[in-house]
Amino acid sequence: MRLILQNGTVFEGESFGAASNAAGEVVFATGMTGYVEAFSDPSFAGQIVVLTYPLIGNYGVPDKSTWESEKMQIAGLVVANYSATYSHHDAVQSLAQWCKASGIPALHGVDTRAITKVLREKGSTLGQLITSGAPGAFFDPNTENLVAKVSPKEVKTYGNGPIKIIFVDCGAKENIVRSLIRPETTIVRVPWNYDFSKALVLSNGPGDPTMCGPTVENIKKTMAAEKPILGVCLGNQLLALAAGAKTYKLPYGHRGQNVPCTDVETGRCYITSQNHGFVVDESTLPSDWKPWFKNANDRSNEGIMHASKPWRSVQFHPEANPGPTDTAWIFDRFLADLIAAKI
């Protein structure tokens, strides 16, 4: 089996997934654990994921109760060493079995450090996983509206508390919903282009945020009504676009569970879980908006906030899973905004 990068570089190894080919954007992720949650995260739609941690598969795959969506979302997988023998009390299948059942090709026995070095120096690139036959055409998933593909088609409600929250699912991780469910809340989960105007939580999701025009226009309606808004990951970019700012693509993105971010207000640094390729251009924020968090490594934006309105968002994942729980307080702060606004 081969991984072929757009620049012509080829990495050969052994297949342990589906006997199929795949094309997409090749990206790397640095997490030591949490591959089940990462592979089922819709933010990875269209991407061939290279894991930098060398030993993958040793704890198997649990049932769907801990997945971040209903299925495996990645386009393909590349690891250094696949562990065919797994051991965990929650495991119901091996990673290879999950890949094969999901139709996802997976490659192991390659130098993932060398691949990551290429991506770090040259930026994320297009690539193909070839199990058999000749290579096909390269495919850039960011040219499509990936959010429309992964967002649900129907409205779903959780809980029956007095505080109603519209959760705009642009490809959401399930743990955001789990983090918002409280005795005092009712969560109404809606598609990416649903016409909403209540208090909002904007989810994570894949691809270029500028593809989500209807979502941005609906966010503007909520802002006009001055309702509280919380954005997560893609939600940070969508809120920025609704405010009038711009976004841009990072060279190779931030994907891992150990990314340090600094709270601009307090100066405190948090370890965060991240998965994104686009980011907000702080220089384009209107005068009544300001940065909330910054990436401690490259100083790129990790969150924005309005100077006086209850509108905030973060580029990382405060719901964690996988990842640290350092920033789980952000959901509590949003609920406090809802109570103060008497939603």
Distance CA 108, CA 244 (A): 44
Place of tokens 């282009």: 193
Choice among 37, 174, 302, 319 that is catalytic: 319
Q: Are the beta carbons of 191 and 153 closer than 8 angstroms?
A: yes
Choice among 99, 170, 233, 261 that is catalytic: 233
At residue 192, the 3 state secondary structure works out as coil
**Residue 19, both tokens:** 């006997």
Nearest Cα to Cα of residue 223 among 207, 204, 245, 208:
245
What single DSSP character describes residue 317?
B
> Any catalytic annotation for residue 319?
yes
Distance CA 78, CA 119 (A): 14
Distance CA 190, CA 188 (A): 6
Residue 232 parent element (H or E): strand 229-232
> Any catalytic annotation for residue 25?
no
Q: Are the beta carbons of 138 and 23 closer than 8 angstroms?
A: yes
Positive or negative: CA dihedral 69, 75, 81, 82: positive
> Any catalytic annotation for residue 170?
no
List the catalytic residues: 233, 317, 319
